[in-house]
Amino acid sequence: MRSHSLALVVLLGISVSARAQETDRFADGLIPGAYLRVGAGTMTPVNAQGSLRDWKPGTGVSVAWESWDAGQTGVSRLGFALSAAYSSLPIDGQRFLTEFTLPTGGKANSVAGNASVLEVTTNLRFRIPAPYIMPSIVIGLGFLDWRPGEIRYTGAAGNGTTKQQHRSGGEVAIGGSLDKHIYDRFAIFGEAMYVYGYTRFGGYGTPTGVCATSGCDALSNTTVTTLRGGLRVRLMR
């Protein structure tokens, strides 16, 4: 009799656990556990100041590990994530050629270069219960590394290079995402984020040239937006 009661308790616990994972109609397939989120998209400077104005929107990739605990109705409304993202921004040639003056006093004819942006953040994801789709509010804190690459230019007097200074500092990010479960452990997502990087320590370095205007030498924080989409995968069944 005692063994029958113990078996009944075990079966009841398994049944309750399974129902907790399957009956949350407002989580769109999300259940407690760990997930991998891989995405790609664009990064765009916003209200660019100082040398950030010399760079155009670029592309990037991101990867994140996130964890969701169990909640009263299946899965918690709060998730935690660790993420890393890398973006590459091409130089705005038209603006740079207008502002930059060669050491000889002339103007360059063409220019090429890219800047890289590395982000490493911890994120809180606040899930909003909804049928058929999972909207979330995302808040991130972390580190941003702004690293302009070598800028190569050509002019009537010859070729040369210049480089803007490397910046790094803290980051605050806020935005939102939409996740849609598609099959088994897989879901697709799209997200938009506004990123504010405390990178005021930096500036404009010109080892082989000078800046034509005082405005492009201003020290400024890094403000960008990111738009990404990709795949979310549950790591364990």
pLDDT at 36: 98
Token code pair at residue 191: 């997200």
Q: What is the CATH number of the domain that holds 71?
A: 2.40.160.20
Query: How many Å apart are CA 191 and CA 177, to the nearest integer?
Result: 4
Query: How many Å apart are CA 102 and CA 20, to the nearest integer?
Result: 68
Query: What is the number of structural domains in the chain?
Result: 1
Query: How many Å apart are CA 204 and CA 147, to the nearest integer?
Result: 12
| 124 Cβ contact partners less than 8 Å away, ≥ 6 residues apart | 78, 79, 80, 81, 138, 139, 140
Tens of pLDDT along 173-192? 999 999 999 999 999 999 99
- Select the more confidently predicted residue: 173 or 204: 173
pLDDT at 39: 98
Domain assignment of residue 183, given as a range: 2-234
pLDDT at 106: 77
Average pLDDT over residues 20-31: 75
Query: How many Å apart are CA 46 and CA 140, to the nearest integer?
Result: 18
Q: Residue 12 pLDDT > 60, yes or no?
A: no
- Select the more confidently predicted residue: 6 or 50: 50
| Radius of gyration, CA atoms only, the chain | 24
Q: Residue 41 pLDDT > 80, yes or no?
A: yes
Report yes or no: 127 and 27 within 8 Å, Cβ to Cβ.
Answer: yes
Tens of pLDDT along 73-90? 789 999 999 999 999 999
For strand 134-148 and strand 186-197, is the pairing parallel, antiparallel, or unpaired? unpaired
Instruction: Measure CA 29 to chain center.
Output: 24
From residue 69, alpha-carbon distances to 18, 144, 179, 194, 228 in Å are 14, 28, 17, 27, 25
| 158 Cβ contact partners less than 8 Å away, ≥ 6 residues apart | none
- Select the more confidently predicted residue: 87 or 11: 87
Token code pair at residue 233: 């995968």
Q: Is-above-0.85 flag for pTM?
A: no
pLDDT at 167: 82
Report yes or no: 125 and 81 within 8 Å, Cβ to Cβ.
Answer: yes
Kindly state the greatest CA–CA separation across the chain: 98
Lowest mean pLDDT among 8-12, 86-90, 128-132: 8-12
